Copies of this chain bind each other. A is one copy, B any other.
Amino acid sequence: MESKHIATSSPFSLHRGCHECNLSKLCIPIAVGAEDIDRLEEIIRQGKMLNRGEYIFEQHTPFRSCFAVRSGAIKTFTVSEEGEEQVTGFYLPGEIIGLDSVSMEKYSCSAVALERTSVCEIPLEKFEDLASDIPSLQHHFFSLMSKEIQESRQLTMLLSKNSAEERIASLLLSLSTRFSRRRLSGTNFRLPMPRSDIGNYLGLAVETVSRVITRFQNNGIIKVQGREVQILQLEELQKVLRHDTKCLEHQKESAVNGR
């Protein structure tokens, strides 16, 4: 269970540059030619390590940098005046955090490591200069931010229109495709976050998350053991998201049928 850390966060990989990073096709370097990667590397501080629970940055502190996740997993969240936490996102290797605070005075959310995690720091001031010089880099960064807006819109839509089942199906599918992109299994993976964070993120009570997951399992769509997830019927999960299927065969009936 801890073994996967070794692969991605060994001391060696930490000090490799963007050239060697196997995430470069997902990350910032994708935008720049080989000759410009060196300039990019110059401004990026590589491979800062964090233990579970450690902060990458904190809400309301001065904004300096975005961060690329290199290994591990991160959650971002805001805390309202009343002290309520709101999870705004989960970030996996190859993804960028801090885009919502670019060109702001202060970070608009906090970011904490959900497990042992390494990140690359992208100081925005220097980065903006570089982006002015390299049009494709500016373009790519616009694109990243634009995607972030779209994803947030997606989530908004999910929350405003979809049932608990559909929301959870959506999250599972999102994780699945994001693992696949990194050439990991899209059907067998470990949830980096506790149920409470899932609920918070999706606007559901923990109990509801738990119930829905159990329901999915009873319907043979997934198999769950703690945080270990196995997607057995990907298509069914997609159907759930499309309002096609409802898996809410309330257990009453099956109970009556003596199962």
Interface residues of A (CB under 8 A from B): 78, 80-82, 84, 86, 88, 99-104, 108-109, 128-129, 131-133, 135, 138-143, 145-150, 152-153, 155-157, 159-161, 200-203, 242-243
Contact = CB atoms under 8 A, between A and B. Distances in A.
Nearest to A153: B88
A135 B142 contact: no
A138 B132 contact: yes
22 contacts: A86-B157, A88-B157, A99-B146, A101-B146, A103-B140, A103-B142, A103-B143, A104-B146, A128-B142, A131-B132, A132-B132, A132-B138, A142-B142, A145-B149, A148-B149, A149-B149, A155-B156, A159-B159, A159-B160, A159-B203, A160-B202, A160-B203
A110 B168 CA distance: 27
By Cβ-Cβ distance, the 8 closest A-B pairs, closest first, are A160-B203, A103-B143, A152-B152, A100-B149, A145-B145, A159-B159, A102-B146, A103-B142
A257 B60 CA distance: 49
A159 B202 CA distance: 10
Nearest to A160: B203
A168 to B, nearest CB: 14
A149 B129 CA distance: 22
B139 A128 contact: yes
Given A99-B149, A156-B159, A242 B81 contact: yes
Nearest to A135: B132
Contact of A203 (B99, B104, B143, B161): B161
Contacts of A133: 132
Given A131-B132, A152-B153, 9 more contacts: A81-B242, A82-B242, A88-B157, A101-B146, A102-B146, A103-B140, A103-B143, A104-B146, A141-B142
A243 B148 CA distance: 29
A25 to B, nearest CB: 17
A157 B202 contact: no
A81 B241 CA distance: 12
Contacts of A141: 142
A61 B93 CA distance: 32
Nearest to A84: B161
Contacts of A156: 88, 152, 155-156, 159
A84 B157 CA distance: 11
A243 B135 contact: no
A145 B145 CA distance: 7
